[in-house]
Amino acid sequence: MADESFRTIIEPFRIHSVEPMRLTTRGERAAALAAAGCNLFELRAEDVLIDLLTDSGTGAMSAEQWAGVQRGNEAYAGSPSFERFRAAVTGLFPFRHVLPTHQGRAAEKILFTVTGGPGRVIPNNTHFDTTRANIEFTGAQAVDLPVPEGLQPALRHPFKGNMDVAALDRLLAERAADVPLVMLTVTNNSGGGQPVSLANIRAVREVCDRYGKPLFLDACRFAENAWFIKTGEPGYADVPVAGIVRQMATLADGMTMSAKKDPLANIGGWLALNDDSLAGQCRNLEILTEGFPTYGGLAGRDLEAIAQGLSECIDESYLRYRVRSIAYLGEALESAGVPVVVPFGGHAVFIDARALLAHLDPLQYPGQALACALYAEGGVRACEIGTVMFGLQPDGTEVPAAMDLVRLAVPRRTYTQSHLDYVIEVVTRVASRAARLPGMRIVSQPRQLRHFTARFAPLH
Ligand code: F0G
C-alpha cells in the first residue's frame, strides 16, 4: 500500500525499454500538416512528438504482459490462452458468454447487426463515434441522453457521465417496442471522459427492468470509472476497485469492450453477455467476421496480454497515478486560463475549443483549428471531438455538435511528467493567440466517420 502522506504521486513503475522520439522543425510540421490536408489522422507518427491523439492501444505493456506474449498458445480452437483470457474477464465481469474480438468496434458491429436495424433506437449516455456509426449503419437510430450537467464544460459535478434517467424513461414510455437494449458508456468518452456513478447505473437498471430491456455497458474505461466511484461516490472508499467493477457488471446484462483502453493491451476487445440465444446469434456472426470464438480475430498472445493487463489496470497505486497525471495536466491548463472540461476525467483533458476560439462559428470547426495549431506549434497531436466528428447527419445535413472539444488523451504508462510539462507549455502558447487562429473549411469528406479522412483548409 502506498504511503499517502507524500505529496508527489509517482509513476508506480520504472522504464524497461525506450522508444526514441523525433524532434521536428516548425517548417517540417507546417509541410506535414499541409500534406495531411489539416487532418491529424493523416500525419505520419514519426512527425509527431507527443501523441495525444488517443489513449487507445497506445499504452506501454508491462514485463509480465510481454512474458504473456511469449506464453501465447496459437491453437485455432480451445487455446489455453483463451481460457486465461476468459477467466480474467469473468473475474471482473461475470457474464456467461465472452466473445473475443479484434477490437471494441467489432463487438459493436456484431451486437448491433443482431439487435439493430431500421426503426430501432439505441439510447446511451453518449455514444462513441464507432458505436454511433455501427448503429446508424444498420439503419437504427443512436440517441444520446446525457444528464444536462454533462453538456456544460465549466460546471463541476462528480459524475457528469451519468445518463438522464428521466429522459430514458420518457423515451421508453414512447418507443419501448423499438428499443432492443440500453447502453451506458463508462467513462463517457465523448462527453469529456466523465464517470458514471453506481447510483446512476442502478437507476438506469431499474428503468430497464420496468420496460424489460437489457442493459449493456460500453466498458472501455471501467477501471478509471471505478476509481472515480471509489474516490467520489459516498460509501465506496473502502471497497476494492475489483469489487466496484463487479458491482457495475452485475447491474448489466452484457458489455462491449475495447481492450486497447483500460486493459493495457495494444489490440483486442470482447463482447460479453448473459442471454444464451442472443449469444448464439452473435457467435455465429463472430465466426463469419472475426474468427473462431476462442480467438475472435486475435492471436493467443494478444489474449494473454489482455488477461495480464486486466489484473494490472485495477491496481490502486496505478489508478491513483493515472488519474492524478490527468488532473496534473488539467489543473495546469486551467490555472493558465485555458477553458477545460471540469472535473478532469480518467484518460484525457478536454479543451473547450468553442469557448477558447469564441470568434469562430461551430461550422468553422474551432476544435479542428485548435488541434492543428497545437501540432504546428509543438508537434503535439490531439483529437477534435466536436462538429467534425459528430456534425454530419445520416441524411447529409450538418449541425453543430453539442460541444466542440479538443481531447488531449494520455496513453497509459507512456509519457512522463516532463512530457506533460512540455504539452502544458505548447497549449498555453497557442491559447495566448487563440483569438487570431483561423477557422477551417472542409475540402472533401466521406459520408460516414468523416473525421478520419476528411481534408480541410484554413479560412484565411
Ligand atoms: N467505445 C468507446 C467509449 C471508445 O472510446 C472506443 C474507442 C470504442 C468504443 C471503440 O473501440 O477503438 O477498440 O474499436 N475509442 C478510441 C478513442 C478510438 O480514441 O477514444 P475500438
Compute, in angstroms, the gap from residue 12 CA to the centroid of ligand 1: 26
Dist. CA 377–CA 272, nearest whole Å: 43
374-385 tens-digit pLDDT:
999 999 999 999
Dist. CA 169–CA 46, nearest whole Å: 49
DSSP 306-319: HHHHHHHTT-HHHH
Long-range contacts made by residues 414-418, C-beta under 8 angstroms, separation at least 24?
A: 414/58, 414/59, 414/60, 415/50, 416/11, 417/325, 417/328
Q: Is the CB of 161 under 6 A from ligand 1?
A: no
* Closest by CA position to 245, among listed 296, 297, 294, 315: 315
Atom of ligand 1 at shortest distance to CA of 54?
Answer: 19
Residue 129 is placed in which grid cell? 463515434
* Closest by CA position to 89, among listed 244, 241, 269: 269
Give the pLDDT mean for 169-174: 98
Weakest mean pLDDT among 92-101, 140-149, 160-169, 184-193: 184-193
Q: Is the CB of 124 under 6 A from ligand 1?
A: no
End-to-end CA gap in the chain = 56
Answer yes or no: is pLDDT of 335 > 90.
yes
104-124 tens-digit pLDDT:
999 999 999 999 999 999 999
Beta carbons within 10 angstroms of residue 182's beta carbon: 26
Give the pLDDT mean for 196-217: 98
Give the pLDDT mean for 381-404: 93
Residue 380 is placed in which grid cell? 503535439
DSSP lists the bridge partners of residue 121 as 141
Compute, in angstroms, the gap from residue 128 CA to the centroid of ligand 1: 7
Q: Is the CB of 294 under 6 A from ligand 1?
A: no
Residue 97 identity (one-letter amino acid): H
| pLDDT value for 7 | 87
Give the pLDDT mean for 151-172: 95
CA nearest ligand 1 atom 16, residue: 56
Give the pLDDT mean for 27-47: 97
Dist. CA 205–CA 380, nearest whole Å: 41
CA nearest ligand 1 atom 4, residue: 128
Compute, in angstroms, the gap from residue 277 CA to the centroid of ligand 1: 27
| pLDDT value for 190 | 81
Give the pLDDT mean for 415-426: 97
Compute, in angstroms, the gap from residue 137 CA to the centroid of ligand 1: 17
Dist. CA 97–CA 275, nearest whole Å: 8
Q: Is the CB of 54 under 6 A from ligand 1?
A: yes
Confidence of residue 5 (pLDDT cuts 50, 70, 90): confident
Q: Is the CB of 126 under 6 A from ligand 1?
A: no
Mean residue pLDDT across the chain: 96
Q: Is the CB of 120 under 6 A from ligand 1?
A: no
Compute, in angstroms, the gap from residue 131 CA to the centroid of ligand 1: 8
Give the pLDDT mean for 41-64: 97
| pLDDT value for 2 | 60
Q: Is the CB of 269 under 6 A from ligand 1?
A: yes
Compute, in angstroms, the gap from residue 435 CA to the centroid of ligand 1: 32
Confidence of residue 143 (pLDDT cuts 50, 70, 90): very high
| pLDDT value for 3 | 67
User: What does each C-alpha distance from 402 to 285, 304, 387, 405 come to in angstroms?
Assistant: 34, 39, 8, 10
Compute, in angstroms, the gap from residue 67 CA to the centroid of ligand 1: 26
Q: Is the CB of 162 under 6 A from ligand 1?
A: no
CA nearest ligand 1 atom 21, residue: 104
Atom of ligand 1 at shortest distance to CA of 53?
Answer: 19
Compute, in angstroms, the gap from residue 105 CA to the centroid of ligand 1: 7
Confidence of residue 339 (pLDDT cuts 50, 70, 90): very high
Q: What is the DSSP letter of 178?
A: G
Q: What is the DSSP letter of 403?
A: -
Compute, in angstroms, the gap from residue 102 CA to the centroid of ligand 1: 12
Percentage of the chain with pLDDT > 70?
99
Q: Is the CB of 260 under 6 A from ligand 1?
A: yes
| pLDDT value for 226 | 98
Q: Is the CB of 128 under 6 A from ligand 1?
A: yes
Compute, in angstroms, the gap from residue 101 CA to the centroid of ligand 1: 13
Which one of 52, 144, 196, 260 would you pick to mutate in the ligand 1 pocket, going by the greatest count of ligand atoms within 8 A of its CB? Answer: 260
Weakest mean pLDDT among 2-11, 75-84, 134-143: 2-11
Q: Is the CB of 308 under 6 A from ligand 1?
A: no
Q: Is 247 exposed, middle or buried (0-12, 13-18, 19+ CB in 10 A)?
A: middle
Q: Is the CB of 347 under 6 A from ligand 1?
A: no
Atom of ligand 1 at shortest distance to CA of 185?
Answer: 3
Q: Are 382 and 371 in contact (CB under 8 A)?
A: yes
Dist. CA 16–CA 62, nearest whole Å: 8
Give the pLDDT mean for 220-231: 98
Atom of ligand 1 at shortest distance to CA of 347?
Answer: 20
| pLDDT value for 189 | 85
pTM: 0.95
Which one of 217, 258, 271, 406 would you pick to mutate in the ligand 1 pocket, going by the greatest count of ligand atoms within 8 A of its CB? Answer: 258
